Amino acid sequence: MKFSAFFLLIIALILEASLTTIPFVFLGLLVFMAVSRGNWLLVLGFIFGILLDLVSFKTLGISSIFFITFLFFVLLYQSKFEIATNTFVLVTSFLGSLGYLILIGYHDSLIFQAILSSIIGLLLFKLIQNSKIKSES
């Protein structure tokens, strides 16, 4: 799981740095958190946040602060409620993407990008969840 998370986040980082503003790195971190609930994702959130800021002309640390804070709240939430659900992923990826895009100063097609992000997040979640079930059985 750790290796596949790292590999997918590398791809997400390259895509986000070169082609699009859809927050792929954030979505990857959120989906892996929903599936695995590991503390190690906080560390990945920190590392990939710094790398993302490095390649996209943002002040270093701003993405890391957002990623680890958001993931921390997801970890807090999971102690009370179930987080590996479609609704949770859909809602959190929408709200998280919206917050992240506002934080880094993008204003064009904000709602559209957030909706697209939540759909991508949900698809990614189903994909990772299915591959996890297959690998365990």
Closest contact distance (angstroms) between CB of 76 and other proteins is 8
Kindly write down the DSSP assignment for every residue of 81-113, as one continuous string. Answer: S--SSHHHHHHHHHHHHHHHHHHTT--TTHHHH
Of 77 and 130, CB closest to other proteins:
77
Of 20 and 87, CB closest to other proteins:
20
Closest contact distance (angstroms) between CB of 56 and other proteins is 6
* Spatial distance between the Cα atoms of 28 and 99, rounded to a whole number of angstroms: 16
* Spatial distance between the Cα atoms of 89 and 63, rounded to a whole number of angstroms: 20
Of 16 and 89, CB closest to other proteins:
16
Residue 46 touching other proteins (CB under 8 A) = yes
Residue 115 touching other proteins (CB under 8 A) = no
